[in-house]
Structure 1
Amino acid sequence: MSFARLGVAFVAATTAFAAPAFAQSQIDDPECVAPANPGGGFDLTCRIAQTGLEPHVSEPVQVTFMPGGIGAVAYNLFNTTRTDDGSAIVAFSTGSLLNIVTGKCGDFTEKDVRWVGTAGADFGAVVVREDSEYPDLAGLMADFSADPSSVVVGAGGSVGSQDWMKGALLLREADASPMDMRYVAFDGGGDAIAVLLGGSIEVYMGDVGEMVPHIDAGQMRILAVMSPERLEAPFAEVPTAMEQGFDVEWTILRGFYMGGEVSDEDYQAWVDASPPPTRPRNSPPSSKSGACCR
Structure 2
Amino acid sequence: MKASSLRTLLMACLLACAAPYVLAVECIVPAKPGGGMDATCKMLRKVLREEGGTGPVKLSYLPGGIGAVAWSSVVSQRRGGPDTLVTFSGGSLLNLAQGKYGKASVDDVRWVAGVGIDYGMIAVRGDSPWRNLRELLQAIRKDPGKTTVGLSGTVGSQDWLKMALIAGRAGIESRQFRFVALEGGGDSFAALQAGHVQVISGDASEAAHFIAEGKVRILAVLSEQRLPGPLQAVPTAREQGYDVVWPIIRGFYMSPHVPEAEYRRWVEIFDKAMADPAFDRQRGASGLYPFAMTGKALTDYVAQTVAQYRKQSQELGLVR
TM-score w.r.t. length of structure 1: 0.85
Contact 2:77 2:255 in 1 (8 A): no
After superposition, give the CA deviation of every residue in 1:30-77 in whole Å (9 maximum; x if it has no partner): 011110000111111111211123214421222111100110100000
1:246 corresponds in structure 2 to 242
| 2:303 is the alignment partner of 1:293 | yes
Where do 5+ consecutive residues of structure 1 fail to align? 1-24, 284-288
| 2:70 is the alignment partner of 1:42 | no
**Are residues 244 and 200 of structure 1, via their aligned partners in 2, closer, same or farther at CA, if it must alter by over 3 Å?**
same
After superposition, give the CA deviation of every residue in 1:86-134 in whole Å (9 maximum; x if it has no partner): 1111011111111112221122211010000102110011111111111
Output the amino acid matched with 1:292: V
- Taking the TM superposition and a 5 Å limit, the aligned residue runs for 1:1-294 are 26=21, 28-54=23-49, 55-82=51-78, 85-275=81-271, 277-282=292-297, 289-294=299-304
Which of the pair has more CA radius of gyration?
2
Contact 1:148 1:171 in 2 (8 A): no
Where do 5+ consecutive residues of structure 2 fail to align? 1-19, 275-291, 305-320
Q: Tell me which stretches of 4 or more aligned residues in structure 1 moved more than 6 Å.
A: none
How far apart, in 1, do the equivalents of 2:80 and 2:126 lie?
Answer: 46
RMSD of aligned Cα (Å): 1.8
How far apart, in 2, do the equivalents of 1:266 and 1:212 lie?
Answer: 35
Identity rate of aligned residues, in percent?
A: 41
How far apart, in 2, do the equivalents of 1:105 and 1:57 lie?
Answer: 34
Deviation at 1:84, TM superposition (A): 6.0
Identify, as 1 or 2, the structure richer in helix. Answer: 2
After superposition, give the CA deviation of every residue in 1:144-203 in whole Å (9 maximum; x if it has no partner): 333333310011222110000011011101101101220100011101110100001000
How far apart, in 1, do the equivalents of 2:37 and 2:139 lie?
Answer: 31
**Are residues 100 and 227 of structure 1, via their aligned partners in 2, closer, same or farther at CA, if it must alter by over 3 Å?**
same
Deviates more, 1:193-202 or 1:141-150: 141-150
How far apart, in 1, do the equivalents of 2:293 and 2:153 lie?
Answer: 26
